[in-house]
């Protein structure tokens, strides 16, 4: 018969073996969990990297879409600034003659009577008053054209500058206005109405908000393509309610079916003809709004139009 001691020993050994086995199991599981976690961290990092690459690629694609319109916008003022300079060049001939007369008269090579005579002849060929007015007009027009080019370039830099990829305390309305200015040419065949409510400063990436707006506005414009110039209406509203900034882009265009609404944020989802849309615009809008901890709501009715609301909480700092 086994003694009590032996039974205790057996029980102790069994309990110890079970404990070692359990510990081993926990250790194995922990090792597996640790490896899985490592893999997950790596996958998340990979995913974030891919997302950055994608955002950059999409930004370049948006720039591509914009550049045709921008080239056109720059081309007009540039063309008239250049033609004004050519006109100025031709009036320079008369100015040169006047300078020469002045030089000859002051150095005594020309009498007062001769000077008067020559001046009258020149006046006959070209009225000095008209010439002076023309020069003023040409210079003013050219300055206006160059100012316009300067604004376009500044808007474009605001859109593309890498430093703007950082968040800062800013007024989101600036980005909204910038996008509308940037697209003024493309949106010229729609009636665009804007309503801006005063916004508090918020921690945001102005370049990203700008890009969100560019994508929403281009989509709204495309949705109105079938409408006539007098019918197409796009409304942009910037409001501050219940501690949230709400930016809404509405259009009275074609609207969306339930299927389009369900897939609008899917990468590469587009209803546009091959080679027209990349289907990445709204995916990017989603990523950027979420990067600001915001949300998007879509109201759309086929044949009636669409309202896209982006809600942003007020972030005070990173
Ligand atoms: N305001 C709108 N009205 C109607 N349909 C819209 C609107 N905005 C987006 N859509 C639909 O959602 C689809 C996806 O939009 P998204 O901006 O992602 O891609 P896209 O405009 O087709 O191409 P791109 O990448 O050039 O922007 C569009 O093809 C269109 O069918
Ligand atoms: Mg789009």
Rounded to the nearest 10 degrees, the angle between the axes of helix 172-182 and helix 206-223 is: 50
pLDDT at 2: 56
Number of domains in the chain: 2
Half-sphere exposure of 150 (CA within 13 A, CB side): 7
What is the four-CA torsion angle of 51, 56, 58, 63, rounded to 10 degrees?
A: 170
pLDDT at 23: 93
- Let me know if residue 61 belongs to a domain: no
267 and 177 within one domain: yes
178 and 283 within one domain: yes
Q: By alpha-carbon position, which residue is closest to atom 14 of ligand 1?
A: 270
The CATH number that applies at residue 230 is 3.30.565.10
199 and 300 within one domain: yes
149 and 290 within one domain: no
293 and 267 within one domain: yes
The Cα 152–Cα 157 span in angstroms is 9
- Let me know if residue 77 belongs to a domain: yes
* DSSP bridge pairs for 247: 238, 310
Last residue of a domain, one of 140, 158, 176: 158
To test the ligand 1 pocket, which listed residue (216, 219, 284) has its Cβ within 8 A of the most ligand atoms? Answer: 219
- Let me know if residue 10 belongs to a domain: no
Tens-binned pLDDT, residue by residue, of the chain (318 aa): 556 788 888 999 999 999 999 999 999 999 999 999 999 999 999 988 887 787 777 767 766 766 766 777 788 888 888 999 998 988 888 889 999 999 999 999 989 999 999 999 988 888 889 999 999 999 998 998 898 888 777 767 666 654 446 888 999 999 999 999 888 888 888 999 999 999 999 999 988 899 899 999 999 999 999 887 779 999 999 999 888 999 999 999 999 999 999 999 887 788 988 767 777 788 889 988 988 999 999 999 999 999 999 999 998 775
- Let me know if residue 260 belongs to a domain: yes
216 and 147 within one domain: no
Q: Is the distance from the beta carbon of residue 94 to the nearest atom of ligand 1 less than 6 Å?
A: no
Q: Is the distance from the beta carbon of residue 278 to the nearest atom of ligand 1 less than 6 Å?
A: yes
The Cα 237–Cα 217 span in angstroms is 12
The Cα 78–Cα 148 span in angstroms is 9
pLDDT at 158: 62
- DSSP-assigned letter for residue 227: S
182 and 263 within one domain: yes
- Let me know if residue 250 belongs to a domain: yes
218 and 142 within one domain: no
- Let me know if residue 186 belongs to a domain: yes
Q: What is the pTM of this model?
A: 0.63
Place of tokens 């109105």: 224
- Let me know if residue 181 belongs to a domain: yes
181 and 134 within one domain: no
Closest listed ligand to the CA of 252: 1
149 and 170 within one domain: no
Q: Measured between alpha carbons, how far is residue 143 from residues 29, 72, 85, 139 in Å?
A: 74, 18, 11, 6
pLDDT in tens, 241-298: 888 999 999 999 999 999 999 999 887 788 988 767 777 788 889 988 988 999 999 9
Of 232, 171, 226, 230, give the one whose Cα is nearest residue 197: 171
The whole-angstrom distance between residue 28's C-alpha and the CA centroid of its chain comes to 51
pLDDT at 162: 46
The whole domain housing 80 covers: 72-158
Beta pairing class for 191-196 and 233-241: parallel
224 and 174 within one domain: yes
Last residue of a domain, one of 143, 158, 173: 158
User: 229 alpha carbon to ligand 1 midpoint, in Å?
Assistant: 20
139 and 199 within one domain: no
- Let me know if residue 18 belongs to a domain: no
Last residue of a domain, one of 158, 185, 212: 158
């Amino acid at each position: 018969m086994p003694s009590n001691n032996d039974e205790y020993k057996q029980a102790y050994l069994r309990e110890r073996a079970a404990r070692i086995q359990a510990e081993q199991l926990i250790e194995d599981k922990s090792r597996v969990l640790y490896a899985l976690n490592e893999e997950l961290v790596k996958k998340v990092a990979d995913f974030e990297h891919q997302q950055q690459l994608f955002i950059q690629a999409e930004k370049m694609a948006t720039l591509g879409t914009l550049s045709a319109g921008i080239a056109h916008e720059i081309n007009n003022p540039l063309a008239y600034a250049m033609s004004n300079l050519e006109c100025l060049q031709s009036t320079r001939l008369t100015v040169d003659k006047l300078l020469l007369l002045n030089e000859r008269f002051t150095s005594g090579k020309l009498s007062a009577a001769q000077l008067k005579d020559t001046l009258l002849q020149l006046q006959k060929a070209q009225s000095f008053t008209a010439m002076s007015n023309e020069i003023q007009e040409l210079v003013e027009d050219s300055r206006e054209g160059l100012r316009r080019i300067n604004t376009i370039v500044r808007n474009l830099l605001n859109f593309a500058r890498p430093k703007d990829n950082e968040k800062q305390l800013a007024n989101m309305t600036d980005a909204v206005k910038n996008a509308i200015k940037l697209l003024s040419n493309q949106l010229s065949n729609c009636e665009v109405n804007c309503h801006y409510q005063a916004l508090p400063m918020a921690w945001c990436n102005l370049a990203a908000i700008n890009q969100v707006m560019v994508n929403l506005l281009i989509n709204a414009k495309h949705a109105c393509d079938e409408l006539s110039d007098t019918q197409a209406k796009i409304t942009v509203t910037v409001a501050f309610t219940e501690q949230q900034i709400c930016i809404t882009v509405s259009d009275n265009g074609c609207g969306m079916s339930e299927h389009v609404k369900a897939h609008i944020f899917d990468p590469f989802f587009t209803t546009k003809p091959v080679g027209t849309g990349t289907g990445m615009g709204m995916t990017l809008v989603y990523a950027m709004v979420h990067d600001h901890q915001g949300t998007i709501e879509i109201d759309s009715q086929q044949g009636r139009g669409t309202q896209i609301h982006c809600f942003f909480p007020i972030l005070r700092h990173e």
